[in-house]
Amino acid sequence: MSEPPVLISARGVARQFGPRTALAPVDLELRGGETVALLGPNGAGKSTLLSLLARASRPTAGHVEWGPGVRVGWVPQRAAHYARLTARENLVLFARLEGESDADQAATRLLSALELPDDERASGDLSVGNRQRLNVALGLLGRPDALLLDEPTASLDPWQRRRLWETVGSMREGGGAVLFSTQHPEELGDLADRVLVLRGGALVFAGAPAEYALLDSDRIFA
Amino acid sequence: MSRVLLLLRKDLLVLRRSPVLLGVLVAYPLLIALLVGLVASYGSAKPRVALVDEDGLPEVLEVGGQRFRVNRTIERVSREVDLVRLSKEEAERQLESGEVVASVTVPRGFVSDLRGMVRSPRLILETTRGGLAPRVTQQVQALVYSLNRELQDAYIEANLEYIDLLLDGGVGTFLGRRFDVLGLRGTRRVLEGLPAGPKLDAIREFVRAAELALAQTDDALRATANPIELEQAPERGRSWVLSAQVQAYALGLTVTFLALVLAAGALAAERDENVLGRLSRGLVGLGEVVGAKVALAATVAVVLGLALALAFGLAIEVGDVAGGEPWSRLPLLAVGLALTGASVGALGALLGALAGEARTASLVALLVVLPIVFLGLVPREVVPVAGVISDGLPFAHAVRFFGAALYDVSPWGSVGVEAAWLLGLAALFGGLARVGMRRLVA
């Protein structure tokens, strides 16, 4: 049986902000069908790595490659949508920018899948949980092969978390890859196939969840 | 639909959903234009000038046989200044404190000099330092000129009375002394009763020639007093409010303000809403984001500018005012509005990119817009540096474009030059804004 294709590959990718190193050089591959958890305390470099992999920012060293024809969805930690537009209007606008053939249909599909309100309310007036789900829905536009999620469950209640992972899980079953960051190791459950741990901008662990469970996580998050 | 148009449509939708913002953006520049107009009209308001009467001007003054009611005469000739009678000490105090901008003193001996008609009486003018002094000096000079005109008329009338006396004879007075005069006509009648002879004929001929010459003196004397007389025709043409200049400035000011603040705020808002990262992942280029803001500014400039021009046009039609091309030039005006909106919008986008977040960008745009406008208002002849700086900013070019488009008989030369300037500035500021945006998505 052949190995799943590499969807995203990072070679020595690093990011400096002036004298500060946000991310030391990191090598990483994300393959189809796998779910990778990215763990680490605040300021560890998780968001920086995800935005570099999503090509939302540029590395100061190394490079990021996407496989041929691979589409990558990105869900930043802070909601990224127009607060004066409704959830549907945001989805239709970004669907058109993503080149979706039927933007209205794509918006309807995601509104339903993420159980988002389809009314006249501006998205800025939605609850925190709904805004976060809209953020995830925007990341799913364009039917991505790989989805990068930056602490997607931070503002969701347990039920909403479960619904989110079900939605993401269905994508994985379709051969897609998921890389998500979290500060909550207990979220790993049976979601992740691999675990990466960042600390102080450097990759300090890469392995299976079972191996991670043997680590002293207090030392990592201290 | 292109990506720039998609973002433009989104921005217009957001703007439509912010009626308070839109209202303030429209009302504020109109308010500023009104205030500028008020300040400009203050420039022609009456300055307060002290009148110090050291000679005790009488209520009625007789000069050359003409009687002047002094207060009424001063009132009539001092329409351009607010003349207030003060003592010497009070006038000096108010001049020092700036309560009056000038002081005109009537020194002792003024009335006797005036009545004597031998030596010119003098008035003494003192002004404060500063910007108003030249204007006040001009106005006091105008006041003295008007007084001189009235006195001159009185002197001429007095002289003409003497000439009439020489012609017709009668009783006259000079320096308070009465005297009888035979007059040329009386002389002729006396000569007619004398026997003819060559010597008497020569005297008769002289009297006849002198009679004819003095009969022409009336008009000649008046003409000598006023070699060139300015006749003021009844007022016609547009009032100041409807003048071409005011329309061009009102359009320029409104469009500059709106386009600058909108473009700066809209570009910085993309970062505030955290969508720049999402957009810059290949969905929309940085140049396209700048292009969308420039298009937003141009669209709003055209819509609002045309609405203002229509309002002016209607006022002109209703007022039945002659001159100008209020309707046929609207398409050309629309081009100017679009170019101005684009040029100012590009500058706004640059400010937005540099400021980084919407509140700072809007504040910076507000702070920057007034100097831009006032630099364009300062006459190049007065402060050449202001003219040079203003050439590098869109406002002055916009005003010249609007003025030419609306009222020049042959506008194409001016319009072409100003359009090239506006396009060049739009390209320059747009390019710089694109470079500045790299910092925002880094």
* Best mean pLDDT range from A48-57, B132-141, B231-240: A48-57
Q: Which two tokens stand for residue B94?
A: 């108010």
3-state secondary structure of B401: helix
pLDDT > 70? residue B64: no
| Residue-level pLDDT at B237 | 47
Q: How confident is the model at residue A163 (pLDDT cuts 50, 70, 90)?
A: confident
- The shares of helix, strand and coil residues in chain B, as percent rounded to the nearest 5, are 70, 10, 25
Q: Which residue of A has its CA nearest to B3?
A: A97
In tens, the pLDDT along A22-56 reads: 999 999 999 998 999 999 888 889 999 999 999 98
**Cα–Cα dist B368/B361, whole Å:** 10
Q: How confident is the model at residue A219 (pLDDT cuts 50, 70, 90)?
A: low
Residues of chain A contacting B6 with CB distance shorter than 8 Å? 93, 96-97
Q: Which residue of A has its CA nearest to B439?
A: A57
Q: How confident is the model at residue B22 (pLDDT cuts 50, 70, 90)?
A: confident
Nearest to B326 by CA among B337, B304, B308, B310: B310
**Cα–Cα dist A76/B282, whole Å:** 16
Residues of chain A contacting B10 with CB distance shorter than 8 Å? 82, 85, 93
CB pairs under 8 A between A and B: 57
- The complex's ipTM works out to 0.85
pLDDT > 80? residue A208: yes
| Residue-level pLDDT at B40 | 54
**Residue to test with chain B: of A82, A96, A100, A134, most B Cβ within 10 A:** A82
In tens, the pLDDT along A172-197 reads: 777 889 999 987 777 776 788 899 99
Mean confidence (pLDDT) of chain B: 81
| Residue-level pLDDT at B101 | 79
Is the Cβ of B442 closer than 8 Å to some Cβ of chain A? yes
Average pLDDT over residues B156-181: 79
| Residue-level pLDDT at A222 | 63
Q: Could you say which of B6, B18, B279 has the minimum Cβ distance to residue A96?
A: B6
**Cα–Cα dist B335/B422, whole Å:** 11
Q: How confident is the model at residue B183 (pLDDT cuts 50, 70, 90)?
A: confident
Residues of chain B contacting A93 with CB distance shorter than 8 Å? 6, 10
Average pLDDT over residues A105-113: 93
In tens, the pLDDT along B384-432 reads: 888 888 889 999 999 999 988 887 778 889 999 999 999 999 999 999 9
**Residue to test with chain B: of A84, A121, A134, A136, most B Cβ within 10 A:** A84
What letter would DSSP give residue A86?
B
- Percent of chain B at pLDDT > 90 equals 23
| Residue-level pLDDT at A220 | 65
pLDDT > 60? residue B232: no
In this complex, do B273 and A89 lie within 8 Å of one another by their Cβ atoms?
A: no
3-state secondary structure of A147: strand
- Percent of chain B at pLDDT > 70 equals 83
Vertex A36: Cα angle to A58 and A97 (nearest 5): 50
Vertex B156: Cα angle to B155 and B158 (nearest 5): 65
Interface of A with B (CB under 8 A): 51, 54-58, 72, 74, 76, 78-85, 89, 93-94, 96-98, 122, 138
What is the distance in angstroms between the Cα of A186 and the nearest Cα belonging to chain B? 29
In this complex, do B17 and A84 lie within 8 Å of one another by their Cβ atoms?
A: yes
Is the Cβ of B439 closer than 8 Å to some Cβ of chain A? no
What CA dihedral angle connects A13, A15, A16 and A17, to 10 degrees? 170
| Residue-level pLDDT at B28 | 75
Q: How confident is the model at residue B177 (pLDDT cuts 50, 70, 90)?
A: confident
Alpha helices in B273-393 (DSSP H): 276-279, 286-318, 330-355, 358-377, 384-391
Q: Which residue of B has its CA nearest to A72?
A: B281
Is the Cβ of B281 closer than 8 Å to some Cβ of chain A? yes
pLDDT > 70? residue B225: no
**Residue to test with chain A: of B13, B278, B283, most A Cβ within 10 A:** B278
In tens, the pLDDT along B108-125 reads: 988 888 777 667 788 888
